[in-house]
């Protein structure tokens, strides 16, 4: 649904509500809605990026543990790995929706950060475990996107 909303324009997006189901209050002045929407999108992007990176980190760690083990992995370890895959994929979907919406309401610095991250993510998505970059590379992309958002919102430190 988020992909469908992304192509419908800012007015439809704002009337449909903020990211992840939060809705703007109808008593707000119209001029405050875009800023409130950007702030909510900033929060949502930070949360979803953290979940995505965290689940990647967990998945990499459990996959390395399975590879390093001399014994066949037990059912609990395999179930944990599968849970991390599912959680990572769900976080990726939420983050992708956040980024599609951010393209509509943020400027070129945010869009450039998103494009750089998406290119990085496309490249690493086909890599085998040994060739995955350090988790810090994911984190750096997230920091750049969030810093550009914060700068645009006037909340940068």
pLDDT tens-digit profile, the chain (157 residues): 343 334 334 433 444 444 554 444 444 444 555 889 999 999 999 999 999 999 999 999 999 999 888 888 888 999 999 999 999 999 999 999 999 999 999 999 999 999 999 999 999 988 888 899 999 999 999 999 999 999 999 997 6
- State the Cα angle at 34 between 49 and 28, rounded to 5°: 120
Q: In degrees rounded to 5, what are phi and psi of residue 12?
A: -65, -40
Residue 15 in tokens = 């009337």
Domain that holds residue 82: 2-153
Please tell me the total count of domains within the chain.
1
pTM over 0.85: no
Give the whole-number percent of the chain exceeding pLDDT 90: 64
């Amino acid at each position: 649904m988020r992909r469908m909303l992304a192509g419908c324009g800012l007015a439809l997006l704002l009337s449909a509500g903020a990211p992840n189901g939060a809705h703007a209050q109808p008593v707000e002045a119209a001029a405050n809605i875009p800023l409130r929407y950007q702030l909510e999108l900033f929060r949502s992007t930070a949360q979803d990026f953290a979940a995505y990176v965290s689940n990647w980190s967990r998945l990499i760690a459990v996959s390395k543990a399975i590879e390093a083990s001399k014994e066949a992995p037990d059912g609990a370890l395999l179930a944990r790995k599968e849970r991390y895959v599912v959680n990572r994929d769900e976080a990726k979907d939420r983050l992708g929706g956040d980024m599609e919406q951010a393209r509509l309401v943020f400027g070129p610095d945010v869009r450039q950060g998103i494009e750089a991250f998406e290119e990085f993510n496309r490249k690493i998505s086909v890599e085998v475990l040994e060739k995955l970059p350090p988790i810090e590379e994911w984190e750096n992309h997230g920091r750049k996107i969030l810093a550009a958002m914060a700068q645009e919102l006037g909340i940068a430190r």
